[in-house]
């Protein structure tokens, strides 16, 4: 089946710094790559996604880049704020369902 590896598992940054989370995958047929944010005790929610015909997508302070040749995609958060503290999951569409990475716990220190 599909496999997606996510790194790092934990990330601590100072408020205002940037954070980068990276995922690698093995199934070259994947063409949809979403990122989810999960706050403590809440459900995961989509924050940004990218499709295989695009190399980069931005939405205010967050951006996602995709390198299909190298089979990796990354989430970039700039000017981090305390409310960015959460667990972030990358995902991709496998043959029949979303497959998730193991998650990155981001802690933004004020």
Shortest Cβ distance from residue 5 to another protein (Å)? 11
Closer to another protein by CB, 80 or 104: give it.
104
Shortest Cβ distance from residue 110 to another protein (Å)? 25
**Using CB under 8 A as the criterion, which residues of the chain lie in contact with another protein when the complex forms?**
1, 6, 9, 31-32, 34, 43-46, 49, 89, 91, 93, 96-103
Closer to another protein by CB, 49 or 63: give it.
49
Shortest Cβ distance from residue 16 to another protein (Å)? 28
DSSP state string for the chain: ---EEEE-SEEEEETTS-EEEEEEE--TT--EEEEEEE-TTS--EEEEEEETT-SEEEETTEEEEEETTTTEEEEEE-S--GGG-EEEEEEEE-SSSEEE---EEEEEE-
Closer to another protein by CB, 65 or 103: give it.
103
């Amino acid at each position: 089946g599909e496999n997606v590896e996510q790194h790092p598992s934990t990330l601590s940054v100072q408020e205002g710094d940037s954070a980068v989370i990276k995922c690698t995958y093995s199934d070259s047929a994947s063409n949809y790559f979403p990122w989810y944010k999960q706050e403590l005790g809440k459900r995961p929610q989509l924050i940004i996604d990218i499709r295989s015909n695009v190399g980069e997508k931005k939405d205010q302070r967050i951006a996602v880049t995709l390198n299909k040749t190298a089979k990796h995609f990354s989430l970039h958060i700039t000017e981090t704020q305390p409310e960015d503290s959460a667990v972030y999951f990358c995902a991709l569409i496998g043959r029949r369902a979303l497959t998730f990475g193991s998650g990155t716990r981001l802690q933004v220190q004020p």
